[in-house]
Amino acid sequence: MRPRHADLFATGLDDETLIRFIDRFLMFYIRTADRLQRTSVWMENLEGGLDYLKSVIVDDSLGLAVDLEADIAHLVDTYECGWKATIEDAEKLRRFRTFVNSERADDSLVFVRERGQRRPALSSEMAAEVA
């Protein structure tokens, strides 16, 4: 991996084109990169490098643009926030109750303040609290 600031990919794009290129770029990366591979490493391994990537994204040299954009549209359309879905679903929320038979907070949790922040008490501090 070689550190570098950035590579200039395209200039003078209107917003719509810019987003379309980003969509194509991201989906091409998702489709072809190894898992957890950085974009920079991915690009270095592409035969033809930046110029090749430009031809795929900007000039649609592989004829993939329509597919790539459709994939991104599918992602955007079907995205669901797991947290929001849980908050809005009583059935899922049941899993997050502290006690099934009490609304009281869990008094076995003991915190102390250190440097203005809350942290769990050490067992020695808990003993002192109880004593």
Helix or strand (DSSP H, E) at 119: strand 117-120
The answer to whether 2 contacts other proteins (rule: CB under 8 A) is: no
Residue selected from 10, 19, 87, 122 as contacting other proteins according to rule CB under 8 A = 122
Residue labelled with tokens 């794009």: 13
Residue labelled with tokens 């879905």: 85
Question: CB of 107: closest distance to other proteins in angstroms?
Answer: 10
Question: CB of 53: closest distance to other proteins in angstroms?
Answer: 38
Per-residue interface string for the shown chain with other proteins, residues 79-108, x marking contact by CB under 8 A:
---------------xx-xxxxxx-x-x-x
Letter for the amino acid at 28? F
Whether 57 contacts 24, CB under 8 Å: yes
Q: By CB under 8 A, which span of 24-32, 53-61, 75-83, 114-122 interacts with other proteins?
A: 114-122
Question: CB of 38: closest distance to other proteins in angstroms?
Answer: 24
The answer to whether 74 contacts other proteins (rule: CB under 8 A) is: no
The answer to whether 48 contacts other proteins (rule: CB under 8 A) is: no
What is the separation, in whole angstroms, between the first and last Cα of the chain? Answer: 57
> How many CB atoms lie under 10 A from the CB of residue 30?
12
Q: Taking Cα atoms as reference points, which of 52, 39, 49 lies closest to residue 1?
A: 39
Residues that bind other proteins (CB under 8 A): 94-95, 97-102, 104, 106, 108, 119-124
